Structure 1
Amino acid sequence: MTMDTLFSALGEYWTLILVIFALIAASAFFSGSETALTAASRARMHSLSNQGDKRAGLVSLLIERRDRLIGALLIGNNLVNILASSLTTSLFLGLFGDSGVAIATLVMTVVLVIFSEVLPKSWAISSPDRFALTVAPFVRVFVLVVGPLSSLVNFIVRGLLAIFGLSLSKEAPMLSAHEELRGAVDLLHREGSVVKADRDRLGGVLDLGELEVSDIMIHRTAMRGVNADDPPEAAVRAVLESPYTRMPLWRGSTDNIIGVVHAKDLLRALAEPNVESNNLEIVKIAQKPWFVPDTTNLKDQLAAFLRRKVHFAVVVDEYGEVQGIVTLEDIIEEIVGDISDEHDLEIQGVRQEADGSIVVDGTVPIRDLNRALDWNLPDEEATTIAGLVIHESKSIPEERQAFTFYGKRFIVMKREKNRITKLRIRPAEEADKQT
């Protein structure tokens, strides 16, 4: 067939050619709409809808019935693809005879893949929210028309899956809302959209319900208190020299806490006439102690602090024995952190050496170390770094013993009785090079 003959034949089929191009454009619309609407941010659409954007409301409405939406778009996409391929085959049969089937198959495969799949989906995924807002009014109309057919298709699909013991309607989401939020924040941090400090604060809020008071309390071995049997001058000096505004008051032993001394109450009492540090009755100015179980999660404890309008609680175990103390500030620090600069190590008990290793007190919480150094050491089985080493080694290590786990080399530097008091930590790769 000569070129003149070919153009003459194409002139006779110009209407058919326009219909084919229109079907290809419709296929691109359905493919792009499916990608954009499934990738659109539900949170952003909800926010825009609250601001009065009606198109965002349509997107939210469509996403609520995702199965109906995808079913309708797939029906429309397959319908126009099949029709476009059939008309193209008919056109090429008229132009090239029997060889037109092979030519039509080749041409339509290339055209549909490029212009009806890859191009519109790439466009849609590059800006899904904007694309979804644009196509939502048109898709809404199409879903209303084809919706009943889509529901029928979904009903048939559910019936077929039920034969194999699967139920779409009863499937629970694989991730909880907290896990989805955490995953989104971590992803945005890796992409550079969220800085480390913000990621840590958001993670701290999400972790409150998973942590217990025992995970963040000041252990009784590190607890500073006031002995009610000490001379008044010694008690006053202990309170005024302490960096804390509240201190537990004990008598006989630290397990017998009889009150909480507030520095302001002490100063107020000393300002009274005829009251001196040598005749002050510190027991009378102490507040009643508040005891909380060590298994209380931080979310409940924070709510209790705010409800009772107090900042200090004594932590006890199931037998009523004192385990430590917890303050409102301790819980707040789990959210905002206590690191002023994400590159500086300002945790108490952590020191970076010139060789790049980290010297850590055994009592340093694993969570604080992870937050400061952007590590991922597990804190499910142990709270402190010493506890982690003991848990992983299944023993009480001796001094100079070394262990490697979770990509880090842990060297026991100092041990007192059965407690690991100081460790050196460095990346396992660096430790291997030095050996």
Structure 2
Amino acid sequence: MTIEAAVAFLAEYWLIIISVLGLLVFSAFFAGAETALTAVSRSRMHTLESNGDISAGIVVRLIARRDRMIGTLLIGSNLVNILASSLTTSLFLGLFGDSGVAFATVIMTILLVVFSEVLPKSWAIAAPDRFALAVAPLVRLLVIVVGPLSSLVNGIVRRILGLFGVNLSSEMPMLTAHEELRGAVDFLHREGSVIKADRDRLGGVLDLGELEVSDIMIHRTSMRGINADDAPEVAVRTVLESPYTRMPVWRGSTDNIIGVVHAKDLLRALAEPDVEPENLDIVRIAQKPWFVPETTNLKEQLNAFLRRKMHFAIVVDEYGEVQGLVTLEDILEEIVGDISDEHDLEIQGVRQEADGSIVVDGSVPIRDLNRALDWHLPDEEATTVAGLVIHESKSIPEERQAFTFYGKRFIVMKRVKNRITRLRIRPADGAPIPPPPAKGEGRE
């Protein structure tokens, strides 16, 4: 084509060319706006709105009616894409005849994919908050104008899907707030923005409502208590030699808990005139025990501890039988990890061997092992590692028996009566297990 022919072409079709280019710009706007407004951080928008950002307030109101907003943007995008394609087709039909349809299809496909889909969406996903704030005022105006048509389309879609048994509700989010938070934290951890320790703490908070006190309690077989019928000096020595500040008091049977002794109350009693360990009445200074059902979830139990200003409760089953005890510290440890002080007993529950395997006490909770080694062993059916092996094997294994499940090889090292007390765990493929991060280490 000569220069004169090109000038003549532009002079004749300049209006159509400019219209197509303008429609491509609008198409890019709709695609970028849809991507940004669906990927935008709602929590950041709420924060900016509370700080007086008007555009952030518009974004919050737009995503509150997401179906209406997306419907408006899709209607606008389809309108401009169809109109741009129609104008281009008419232009090429005039230039090339019937073969112009093929030329128009190829050229518009390239232009729409590159400049109206990939480019604006890549830009929007790279900076969704900034992009959303920029386009929000214009999108709000479009929603006001096209919103009724969008609502009509959404209504038709819901009715059609309803015929096939699919019920869509604009009021019901696909994910719960907890699931969205957990997903965001996991994503940021994989990106390196959130360290492992912070991810575990946030996950611990989110898990409180899903766990029961029976999942974290100190089992009755591991409880240390005071026999009310023992000589007073024996009871005093038991309290003073214990690493715990509170201990249950039982009489006749460990199932018959009649009180809870606080070490501070014991010391106050011993400080009174004429009181010696030999004549101290341990039952008199004991506090009334607080019994809680084993099915109470940790969120409720934490609130109950705070409301009653207590730190210690006895856990019972549906028949009122004592199953164990739970403390405020046990719940806090689910959030922040192990809390140790200078009086805690050092119990080595998890130990890495030179060959890369892990030796674990059977009583180690699965959640603690998952947290320490960043594993994902299930803890729905069993609380401890020994319980998981018994559940999966459907038996009480013998020593040296080995089982493979969830990508791990579990070898029973020691069994006492019907209890598995020690196991060795190694990857099923034989690869060495990386050592757990040291305290204070953030990233895996």
- The TM-score, its normalising length taken from structure 2, stands at 0.91
Structure 2 residue identity aligned to 1:402: A
Structure 2 residue identity aligned to 1:28: A
| In 2, Cα distance between equivalents of 1:256 and 1:169 | 53
Equivalence for 2:294: 294
| In 2, Cα distance between equivalents of 1:305 and 1:209 | 15
| In 1, Cα distance between equivalents of 2:291 and 2:163 | 56
Deviations 1:103-129 (A, max 9, x none): 222222211111111111111111111
* Post-superposition offset of 1:182: 2.0
CA contact (8 A) 2:67 2:170 kept: no
Equivalence for 2:364: 364
* Post-superposition offset of 1:95: 3.7
Mark the CA change 1:404 to 1:98 in structure 2 (over 3 Å): closer, same or farther: closer
Equivalence for 1:61: 61
CA contact (8 A) 2:333 2:339 kept: no
CA contact (8 A) 1:409 1:431 kept: no
For the residue of structure 2 that corresponds to 1:13, the secondary structure is helix
* Post-superposition offset of 1:132: 0.6
Structure 2 residue identity aligned to 1:303: N
* Post-superposition offset of 1:253: 2.1
Write the mapping of 1:156-235 to structure 2, written as runs, cut at 5 A.
156-169=156-169, 172-235=172-235
| In 2, Cα distance between equivalents of 1:120 and 1:322 | 63
CA contact (8 A) 2:219 2:325 kept: yes
| In 2, Cα distance between equivalents of 1:174 and 1:38 | 13
Equivalence for 2:385: 385
| In 1, Cα distance between equivalents of 2:126 and 2:183 | 20
Equivalence for 1:279: 279
* Post-superposition offset of 1:168: 2.4
For the residue of structure 1 that corresponds to 2:429, the secondary structure is helix
CA contact (8 A) 2:37 2:59 kept: yes
* Post-superposition offset of 1:174: 4.1
| In 2, Cα distance between equivalents of 1:188 and 1:347 | 34
| In 1, Cα distance between equivalents of 2:431 and 2:394 | 22
| In 2, Cα distance between equivalents of 1:323 and 1:373 | 29
Equivalence for 2:423: 423
* Post-superposition offset of 1:402: 0.9
CA contact (8 A) 1:9 1:95 kept: no
CA contact (8 A) 2:250 2:258 kept: yes
- The TM-score, its normalising length taken from structure 1, stands at 0.93
Equivalence for 1:261: 261
Structure 2 residue identity aligned to 1:190: R
| In 2, Cα distance between equivalents of 1:150 and 1:320 | 58
Equivalence for 1:104: 104
Mark the CA change 1:140 to 1:250 in structure 2 (over 3 Å): closer, same or farther: same
* Post-superposition offset of 1:172: 4.6
Deviations 1:57-113 (A, max 9, x none): 111111122222122112211221222222223333344444433322222221111
Mark the CA change 1:359 to 1:205 in structure 2 (over 3 Å): closer, same or farther: same
Segment of structure 1 superposing worse, 183-192 or 20-29: 183-192
Structure 2 residue identity aligned to 1:47: T
* Post-superposition offset of 1:303: 1.3
| In 2, Cα distance between equivalents of 1:320 and 1:150 | 58
Mark the CA change 1:369 to 1:152 in structure 2 (over 3 Å): closer, same or farther: same
Equivalence for 2:441: none
* Post-superposition offset of 1:27: 1.1
Write the mapping of 1:11-30 to structure 2, written as runs, cut at 5 A.
11-30=11-30
Mark the CA change 1:96 to 1:172 in structure 2 (over 3 Å): closer, same or farther: same
For the residue of structure 1 that corresponds to 2:415, the secondary structure is strand
CA contact (8 A) 2:85 2:108 kept: yes
CA contact (8 A) 1:240 1:263 kept: yes
Mark the CA change 1:55 to 1:360 in structure 2 (over 3 Å): closer, same or farther: same
For the residue of structure 2 that corresponds to 1:208, the secondary structure is helix
| In 2, Cα distance between equivalents of 1:182 and 1:189 | 10
Structure 1 residue identity aligned to 2:149: L
For the residue of structure 2 that corresponds to 1:255, the secondary structure is strand
Tell me whether 1:327 sits opposite 2:327 in the alignment.
Answer: yes
Deviations 1:220-264 (A, max 9, x none): 111111122222222111111111101111122211221111111
Mark the CA change 1:391 to 1:348 in structure 2 (over 3 Å): closer, same or farther: same
Equivalence for 1:343: none
CA contact (8 A) 1:403 1:409 kept: yes
Structure 1 residue identity aligned to 2:379: D
Mark the CA change 1:388 to 1:138 in structure 2 (over 3 Å): closer, same or farther: same
* Post-superposition offset of 1:171: 8.2
Deviations 1:293-328 (A, max 9, x none): 212111111111111111111111222221111111
Tell me whether 1:36 sits opposite 2:36 in the alignment.
Answer: yes
Structure 2 residue identity aligned to 1:71: G
Identity of aligned residues (%): 80
| In 2, Cα distance between equivalents of 1:354 and 1:163 | 63
Tell me whether 1:313 sits opposite 2:313 in the alignment.
Answer: yes
| In 2, Cα distance between equivalents of 1:93 and 1:347 | 83
For the residue of structure 2 that corresponds to 1:108, the secondary structure is helix
Q: What are the ranges of 5 or more consecutive residues in structure 2 without an aligned counterpart?
A: 341-345, 433-444
Segment of structure 1 superposing worse, 172-181 or 257-266: 172-181
Mark the CA change 1:190 to 1:213 in structure 2 (over 3 Å): closer, same or farther: same
Mark the CA change 1:347 to 1:75 in structure 2 (over 3 Å): closer, same or farther: farther
For the residue of structure 2 that corresponds to 1:429, the secondary structure is coil
Residue-pair matches, total: 427
Structure 1 residue identity aligned to 2:169: S
Segment of structure 1 superposing worse, 225-234 or 237-246: 225-234
CA contact (8 A) 1:315 1:326 kept: yes
- What's the Cα RMSD here? 2.0
* Post-superposition offset of 1:431: 7.6
Segment of structure 1 superposing worse, 82-91 or 385-394: 82-91
Mark the CA change 1:62 to 1:110 in structure 2 (over 3 Å): closer, same or farther: same
CA contact (8 A) 2:408 2:425 kept: yes
* Post-superposition offset of 1:360: 1.1
